[in-house]
Amino acid sequence: MRSPTFAALLLLIHVLFGCAPEVDPPPQELVTDSPAPFEAFWENLQAHCGDAYSGGLTLEPPRDDMLTGNEDLIVHFRECGAEELRLPFHIEDEETGEWDRSRTWVFIRLGDGLELRHDHREPDGSEAEATWYGGRTMDAGTANRQDFLSVERTEESGYERGWRVEVVPGERYTYGTTRRGEWSWRVDFDLRRSVPPPPAPWGHD
């Protein structure tokens, strides 16, 4: 026969646990979908659609004479579609004051990254001999920087070569070439203040 003390203890345990309030499970952490880095980069480019900005040469390898560093440069965020952005690159001749409007940087939005192409034209609007070269993004990148691999140049040299584009909204836009992950040539544009949009690049209305 159980003692009254043991029976009372069992009753007390039953009362305590039977009447304990139910505890709600901890709330689940809210999961939000954030855009992929290349999508955020695309949005940062689009933020400047319609505007033009001045810039200059900031890095050039020895024996490269494409620019002297004294030219006025302008990038124009001219055409902004859902799947393609076109940014003409205008170069003023420091001696004659005439403008070279032959180059347009073309960004193409893909399902898993971005593609960069170079649309080069002659003054009459026809395609230049070297045109539409470029490459795709090499990795995830960031919202402010994307690297594009040139398969042809990489195979030719035996090490990674391509292009890098950086955009810090309201601060700067940078375009350049890379070798082994380092800048080899670059131009920078000041996004803090826009300039009057230039005429259309050659071959475009």
In a domain, 52, yes or no: yes
Q: What is the pLDDT of residues 116-151, one digit of tens each?
A: 999 999 999 999 999 999 999 999 999 999 999 999
pLDDT range class, residue 22, cuts 50, 70, 90: low
> Exposed, middle or buried, 22 (CB in 10 Å: 0-12/13-18/19+)?
exposed
CATH no. for residue 185? 2.40.128.20
In a domain, 199, yes or no: no
Q: Which domain holds residue 136?
A: 37-61+71-190
In a domain, 12, yes or no: no
CA angle in degrees (0–180, nearest 5) for 148-151-156? 125
In a domain, 17, yes or no: no
Q: What is the pLDDT of residues 94-111, one digit of tens each?
A: 889 999 999 999 999 999
Determine which of 24-28, 173-177, 195-199 has the lowest per-residue pLDDT on average: 24-28
Domain count, the chain: 1
Q: Six-digit token pair at 125?
A: 């609007």
Q: Six-digit token pair at 86?
A: 């076109």
Cα distances (angstroms) measured from residue 144 to each of 75, 118, 141, 172, 182: 17, 20, 8, 10, 16
Mean pLDDT of 68-82: 96
> What mean pLDDT value characterizes the chain?
89
Asked if residues 163 and 146 have their Cβ atoms less than 8 Å apart, the reply is: no
In a domain, 106, yes or no: yes
Which pLDDT does position 5 carry in this prediction?
54
In a domain, 184, yes or no: yes
Which pLDDT does position 63 carry in this prediction?
87
In a domain, 144, yes or no: yes
pLDDT range class, residue 152, cuts 50, 70, 90: very high
In a domain, 143, yes or no: yes
